[in-house]
Amino acid sequence: MTGWLDSFVQSYGTLAVFAGTAIEGEAVAMTGGIMAHQGHTPVLETMIAAAAGGYLSDLFLYWMGRTYRDSGPVRRALEHKGVAQVVGRLSKNLVVFALTFRFLPGMKTAGAMSLATLGMRPLPFALCAAISAVVWAVLWVGLGYLLGHAVERLFGDLERVEHALIAPAILGAMLWLGVAWWRRRAKGAAPAAPSKT
């Protein structure tokens, strides 16, 4: 049943990573790293495909912000409360903003648009976005590769493409547990109400 899927990934794996990272991002890059660990795609080509897809997405969103800054979709993306707060903090140094926005939660789409509306010139943006996309791709594909190795140690050889879902599920569970622990710790740190005596 999985023969056609294995063949598809082996033939078009890096193309799928390129298209997927242009649309989605981290989950696709990490899954690409897992596929590379399984030997379906070369790891260097997977990193290049992920960086190229992410970079293309950044350039497109920057163009959207620059060309359609007064359109409804762009205004809605930029007026979101969380986006406005981040932009307010980072707008004083556009280079730092351009290098880091794709690593900030909720800023992958709005970051490039924001930089366009803040007046960052196309060439500096393109250079910063290229550096950021390469670092991002190496991190996420590398994480997927390492998780693939960890899952293989735990569950044995991964012969089916579907097993690539195990590592993202483990990572998601770890993140969820980490956030839950952090929230519980933050609540526990709140000062207790004085007792009535």
Range of the domain at 147: 3-188
Give the residue, 40 or 170, on which the prediction is more confident.
40
Residue 169: inside a domain: yes
User: What's the predicted TM-score (pTM) here?
Assistant: 0.71
Nearest-CA neighbor of 103 among 86, 125, 85, 84?
A: 86
What is the identity of the amino acid at 59? L
d(C-alpha 125, C-alpha 28), whole Å: 24
Q: Residues 33, 43: contact at Cβ < 8 Å?
A: yes
**Residue percentage of the chain with pLDDT more than 70:** 69
pLDDT in tens, 9-42: 566 778 888 988 888 788 888 888 888 887 888 8
Give me the chain's average pLDDT, please: 77
Taking phi first (over 0 means left), then psi (-120 to 50 degrees means alpha), and beta for anything else, what does residue 190 get?
A: beta
The answer on pLDDT for 193 being more than 50 is no
Domain annotation covers residue 196: no
Which is more confident, 111 or 84?
111
In a domain, 107, yes or no: yes
Answer whether residue 83 shows pLDDT above 50. Answer: yes
Is the residue at 13 inside a domain?
yes
User: pLDDT category, 88, cuts 50, 70, 90?
Assistant: confident
Asked if residue 151 belongs to a domain, the reply is yes
State how far the Cα of 182 lies from the Cα of 75, in Å rounded to an integer.
33
pLDDT band at 168 (very low <50, low <70, confident <90, very high): low
pLDDT at 129: 95
What domain count does the chain have?
1
Q: What is the mean pLDDT of residues 129-150?
A: 89
